[in-house]
């Protein structure tokens, strides 16, 4: 089978023509041609017969981006079995078959129906087969072939990373590499010059150049100065087709910035400067600024200012402000116009970061001269001393001189000065000052022991200009006077053991004095003079401001005397010497053998028993618990109710209580008040049963006719009057019971309440035989009987 391509000049030639005229066998791969070969040798014709193959085929080519109205012809398939009678049918399968590529099944012509793009797909793989149209049987085996999309120059070069921003140091040598740019072309680099790119510079000359093949951008001038021009915009073009006419191109922009190097030394704008500074300027304050210009930037412009010489180097100092790169001039010492009116300084400004490649452009420093004019200012008075310390004795009289302060006007006018004290604190009111002389005097009597030091502030102002005021601190020390006698440090509790020996130290005492050490550093101890010799104790001065108390006899007894009082006399060594008397209390105590105090006074019994504090507390708690139990038992016994029914043998009187409360004033039925109307009780005066009357009152008789009609209220009033008039009434309240138990009872009353008025002949002497429990009752009835007999 043969294939015919449109790339050949004569479309009717076989594949050999296609190979020879178009690309050649070496370019497209192996092409097998099936035909007869004849060789003539010496007149003879020798025919060699090679077996026929069913296919003659190779690669097809189709141009991309075909824009014609008709389908593009690709090539032709032809089988040797095809006699041209239409009995052979060609079938095409594979990538794009039937959609992109179509075949005439009779002639074998292949056409492309769509415009192809090589950048999307470079080739298509298809399969061809020739079959018998009548039997549909393959005449030859199926074979594979390729249709390649042939490239055209339809893509311009592109810079994928642009635009570019790049820096290069200033003053770089010519040819210094700045940046390499690369453009890409989507066309086939293996076919023609469609993807062969050439670089050129459209903008940026004569400062920069570009290599046409590599795209490397380089500097094109020597010593490019940043201070002259800092930014450059360079336009680079990339053109395919090796830069030939008709090629496509693309461009990009490269922004190049020159970075700074230290190639410019600092320079002062002027060689001479003048500065005015008033003499009132404060030490440490900034009085002026100076600056040297440097065309460089960043650390290349950093500099340091120094004073290299001049008569004001000791009065002024200079420092560098890192933000503004200025020199700050400060005052080190106070100025005085009257002493010096001007100063001269030589100031140097030098770079701190040097680049030795450009040292030939130096020196990288500059010097200028600064003249400072001191301005005259009306100054406040100046004290002769920065502070004063004065002294005055305590107890000095009011108006005593303490000291004198002095101030003068430092100006040439030398004005008069007036002094006064700032009364800002309470201490300032304790002193006065003479406005003309500055003499300070006391305004109160001071006590060193109360406040030993005072701080005041004295001010001075010019009489001509009172607003100019200066101040000075004055400290006043209060000197000590021996005006406090010595005294014991504390109240001592001295103890002497009963078995002490003579000469034994029982207490060491110490004295103190409110005055300072100059007035009483040495104390003297002694017993008070004028008293007889103490037979019990004596005192020994230790001469170190302490004294020891010693015993003078062998034994002491608490029972004889448990407390001793020892009068002491303490004097100091001040001028004049002062003394005071004190009394030392000494207790006599029982001690152990090792000298430990065992007990004093009333604690002897418990201490001798050897009981500890915990044991004593335990014993006390037990006693309290026992007492509580006894009290509770007695309380329960008293609160226990006696039975309502008593035995016949118990002849003691029993009072039965009925707790029955009525219903109030409105309850007129719950209690019958007629019980109070006892005719029998009204007939005669009843005796009091709570006491035995000594005088028997006269009997009062009432008509019997009035007993039944007596009113209850009147009855109670009568009984109340009788009780008030009764001479035997005790000086306490008593309760009299009036109970009506019935009228005209044959058995009589069984109540013992009226037993005092009952005349009985019964002998009660047998009560004395009942035992001690009935002794009181027997005595009572015995007395009644004796009275009755009398």
Residues 235/210, Cβ–Cβ less than 8 Å: no
Q: Residue 276: CA atoms inside 13 Å, Cβ hemisphere, count? A: 3
Looking at the domain assignment, is residue 246 inside a domain? yes
Residues 394 and 436 in one domain: yes
Angle made by CA atoms 37, 41, 46, in degrees to the nearest 5 = 45
Query: What does the alpha-carbon distance between residue 424 and residue 431 come to, in Å, rounded to a whole number?
Result: 13
Is residue 251 within 8 A of residue 160, CB to CB? The reply is no
3-state secondary structure of 248: coil
The more confidently predicted of residues 91 and 663 is 91
Residue where a domain terminates, one of 313, 344, 375 = 375
Rounded CA-CA distance 1/130 in Å is 9
- The enclosing H or E element of 198 equals strand 198-203
Confidence of residue 66 (pLDDT cuts 50, 70, 90): confident
Question: pLDDT tens digit string along 511-522?
Answer: 888 877 665 567
Which is more confident, 585 or 673? 585
Across 70-79, 297-306, 763-772, least confident range? 763-772
740 located within any domain: no
Q: pLDDT per residue over 525-564, tens digit each?
A: 888 877 768 888 999 989 888 999 999 988 888 888 889 9
> How does residue 44 score in pLDDT terms, banded at 50, 70 and 90?
very low
Query: How do 365-375 and 272-278 pair as beta strands?
Result: parallel
pLDDT of residue 233: 94
Q: What pTM did the predictor assign?
A: 0.43
Which range has the worst mean pLDDT, 102-111, 210-219, 746-755? 746-755
> pLDDT at position 489, please?
87
Give CA–CA dist 32/25, Å, rounded: 9
- C-beta separation of 676 from 738 below 8 A: yes
> Of 429, 449, 479, which marks where a domain is finished?
479
Co-location of 284 and 313 in the same domain: yes
Starting at the earlier edge strand, list the strands of the sheet with 123-132.
60-63, 143-150, 123-132, 88-94
Given the DSSP bridges, would you call strands 524-527 and 505-512 parallel, antiparallel or unpaired?
A: unpaired
For residues 265 and 362, the answer to whether their CB atoms sit within 8 Å is yes
What's the confidence (pLDDT) of residue 659? 54
CA 358 vs CA 228, 265, 353, 508, 527: distances in Å? 17, 10, 12, 92, 102
Q: Looking at the structure, do residues 87 and 135 belong to the same domain, yes or no?
A: yes
Domain stop point among 259, 283, 299: 259
Angle, CA 788 vertex, CA 786 and CA 790 arms, to 5°: 70
Whole-number Å distance between alpha carbons of 695 and 729: 11
| DSSP notation for 28-78 | H--------EEEEETTEEEEEPPPP-S-----EEEESS---SSPEEEEEEE
Asked whether residue 173 falls in the same domain as residue 254, the answer is yes
Rounded distance between C-alpha atoms, residue 180 and residue 164, angstroms = 10
User: Whose CA is closest to 300, among 263, 254, 342?
Assistant: 263
Task: Tell me if 720 is assigned to some domain.
Answer: no
The answer as to whether 789 is a domain residue is no
Quote the pLDDT of residue 606.
Answer: 46
Q: List Cβ<8 Å contacts ≥24 apart for 600-607.
A: 600/495, 600/558, 600/562, 601/558, 601/562, 604/558
Residue 681 has pLDDT above 80, yes or no: no
Structure token digits, residue 543: 């001469």
Judge contact between 202 and 209, C-beta under 8 A: no
pLDDT at 30 over 80: no
Banded model confidence at residue 480, pLDDT cuts 50, 70, 90: confident
Residue 414: both structure tokens together:
């030398």
**Secondary structure string (H, E, C) spanning 600-650:** CHHHHHHHHCCCCHHHHHHHHHHHHHHHHHHHHHHHHHHHCCCCCCCCCCC
Count the Cβ atoms, other than its own, within 10 Å of residue 73. 15
Is a pLDDT exceeding 90 seen at residue 766? no
How much helix, strand and coil, in percent to the nearest 5, is found in the chain? 15, 35, 50
> Confidence band (pLDDT; 50, 70, 90) for 611?
low
pLDDT at 601 (0 to 100): 65
491 and 595 assigned to the same domain? yes
What is the average pLDDT value for the chain, to the nearest integer? 78
Other Cβ atoms less than 10 A from the Cβ of 472: the count is 21
Greater pLDDT, 745 or 222: 222
User: Does 186 lie in the same domain as 167?
Assistant: yes
Share of the chain above pLDDT 90, in %: 31
Give the residue with greater pLDDT, 38 vs 620: 620
- Listed as own residue / partner, the contacts of 9-18 with beta carbons closer than 8 Å and 24 or more positions apart are 11/76, 14/56, 15/56, 15/57, 15/58, 18/58
Residue 208: pLDDT band with limits 50, 70, 90: very high
Nearest Cα to Cα of residue 763 among 783, 787, 782, 790: 782
Q: What is the chain's Cα-based Rg?
A: 73
Q: Is residue 414 within 8 Å of residue 456, measured between CB atoms?
A: no
- Same domain? For 280 and 364 the reply is yes
144 and 178, same domain (yes or no): no
Q: Is position 620 within any domain?
A: no
Residue 788: in which H helix or E strand, if any? helix 775-789
Does 88 lie in the same domain as 64? yes
Confirm if 181 and 159 have CB atoms less than 8 A apart. Answer: yes
Distance CA 376, CA 20 (A): 113
Strands (E), 70-142: 72-78, 88-94, 101-103, 109-112, 123-132
- Say how many residues make up the chain: 790
* In the predicted structure, residue 419 carries a pLDDT above the cut 50: yes
Q: Is residue 512 part of a domain?
A: yes
* Total tally of structural domains belonging to the chain: 5
Residue 418 three-state SS? strand
CATH of residue 438: 2.60.40.60
Instruction: Look at residue 222 and tell me if it is in a domain.
Output: yes
Tens of pLDDT, residue by residue over 712-744, are 778 888 878 877 777 766 655 556 555 555 555
CB 249, CB 237: distance < 8 Å: yes
Are 595 and 506 in a shared domain?
Answer: yes
Range of the domain at 171: 158-259
Query: pLDDT by residue (tens digit) across 337-350?
Result: 888 999 999 999 99
Shared domain for 571 and 508, answered yes or no, is yes
Is 219 exposed, middle or buried (CB count within 10 Å of its CB: 0-12, 13-18, 19+)?
buried
Q: What phi and psi values does residue 49 have, to the nearest 5 degrees?
A: -100, 120
- Cα-Cα-Cα-Cα torsion 17, 18, 23, 26, nearest 10 degrees, comes to -70
pLDDT-wise least confident of 269-273, 457-461, 612-616, 746-750? 746-750
328 found inside a domain: yes
């Amino acid at each position: 089978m043969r294939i015919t391509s449109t790339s050949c000049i004569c479309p009717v030639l076989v594949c050999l023509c296609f190979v020879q005229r178009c690309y050649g066998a070496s370019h497209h791969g192996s092409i097998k041609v099936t035909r007869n070969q004849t060789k003539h040798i010496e007149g003879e014709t020798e025919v060699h017969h090679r077996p026929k193959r069913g296919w003659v085929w190779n690669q097809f080519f189709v141009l991309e981006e075909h824009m014609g109205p008709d389908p593009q012809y690709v090539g032709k398939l032809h089988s040797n079995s095809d006699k041209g009678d239409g009995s052979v049918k060609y079938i095409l399968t594979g990538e794009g078959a039937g959609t992109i590529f179509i075949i005439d099944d009779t002639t074998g012509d292949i056409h492309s129906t769509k415009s192809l793009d090589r950048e999307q797909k470079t080739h298509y793989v298809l399969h061809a087969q020739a079959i018998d149209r009548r039997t549909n049987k393959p005449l030859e085996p199926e074979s594979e072939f390729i249709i390649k999309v042939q490239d055209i120059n339809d893509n311009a070069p592109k810079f994928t990373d642009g635009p570019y921003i790049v820096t290069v140091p200033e003053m770089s040598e010519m040819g210094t590499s700045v940046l390499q740019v690369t453009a890409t072309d989507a066309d086939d680099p293996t076919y023609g010059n469609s993807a062969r790119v050439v670089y050129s510079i459209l903008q940026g000359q004569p400062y920069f150049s570009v290599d046409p093949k590599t795209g490397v951008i380089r500097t094109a001038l020597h010593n490019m100065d940043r201070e002259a021009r800092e930014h450059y915009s360079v336009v680079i073009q990339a053109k395919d087709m090796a830069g030939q006419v008709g090629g496509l191109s693309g461009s990009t922009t490269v922004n190049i910035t020159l970075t700074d190097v230290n190639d410019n030394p600092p320079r002062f704008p002027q060689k001479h400067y003048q500065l005015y500074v008033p003499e009132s300027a404060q030490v440490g304050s900034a009085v002026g600024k100076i600056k040297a210009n440097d065309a460089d930037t960043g650390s290349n412009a950093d500099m340091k200012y120094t004073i290299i010489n001049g008569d004001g180097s000791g009065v002024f100092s200079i420092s560098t402000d890192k933000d503004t790169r200025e020199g700050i001039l400060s005052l080190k010492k106070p100025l005085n116009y009257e002493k010096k009116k001007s100063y001269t300084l030589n100031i140097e400004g030098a770079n701190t970061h040097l680049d030795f490649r450009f040292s030939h452009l130096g020196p990288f420093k500059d010097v200028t001269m600064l003249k400072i004019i001191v301005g005259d200012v009306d100054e406040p008075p100046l004290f002769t001393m920065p502070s004063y310390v004065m002294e005055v004795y305590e107890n000095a009289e009011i108006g005593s001189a303490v000291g004198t302060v002095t101030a003068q006007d430092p100006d040439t006018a030398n004005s008069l000065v007036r002094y006064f004290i700032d009364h800002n604190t309470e201490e300032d009111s304790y002193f006065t000052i003479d406005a003309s002389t500055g003499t300070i005097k006391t305004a109160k009597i001071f006590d060193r022991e109360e406040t030993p030091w005072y701080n005041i502030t004295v001010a001075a102002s010019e009489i001509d200009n009172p607003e100019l005021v200066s101040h000075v601190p004055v400290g006043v020390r209060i000197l000590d006077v021996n005006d406090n006698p010595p005294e014991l440090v504390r109240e001592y509790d001295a103890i002497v053991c009963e078995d002490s020996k003579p000469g034994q130290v029982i207490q060491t005492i110490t004295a103190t004095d409110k005055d300072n050490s100059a007035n009483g550093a040495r104390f003297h101890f002694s017993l008070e003079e004028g008293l007889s010799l103490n037979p019990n104790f004596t005192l020994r001065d230790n001469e170190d401001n302490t004294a020891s108390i010693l015993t003078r006899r062998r034994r002491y007894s608490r029972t004889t005397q448990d407390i001793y009082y020892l009068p002491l006399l303490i004097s100091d060594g001040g001028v004049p010497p002062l003394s005071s008397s004190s009394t030392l209390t000494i207790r006599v105590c029982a001690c152990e053998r090792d000298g430990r105090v065992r007990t004093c006074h009333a604690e002897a019994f418990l201490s001798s028993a050897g009981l500890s504090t915990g044991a004593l507390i335990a014993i006390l708690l037990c006693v309290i618990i026992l007492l509580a139990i006894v009290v509770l038992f007695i309380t329960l016994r008293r609160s226990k109710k006696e039975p309502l029914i008593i035995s016949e043998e118990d002849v003691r009187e029993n009072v039965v209580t009925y707790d029955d409360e009525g219903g109030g004033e409105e309850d007129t039925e719950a209690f019958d008040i007629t019980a109070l109307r006892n005719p029998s009780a009204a007939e005669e005066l009843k005796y009091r049963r709570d006491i035995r009357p000594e005088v028997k009152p006269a009997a009062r008789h009432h008509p019997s006719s009035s007993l039944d009609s007596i009113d209850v209220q009147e009855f109670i009033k009568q009984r109340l009057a009788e009780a008030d008039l009764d001479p035997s009434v005790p000086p306490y309240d008593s309760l009299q019971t009036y109970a009506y138990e019935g009228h005209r009872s044959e058995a009589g009353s069984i109540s013992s309440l009226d037993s005092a008025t009952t005349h009985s002949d019964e002998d009660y002497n047998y009560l004395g035989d009942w035992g001690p429990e009935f002794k009181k009752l027997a005595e009572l009835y015995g007395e009644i009987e004796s009275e009755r007999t009398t």
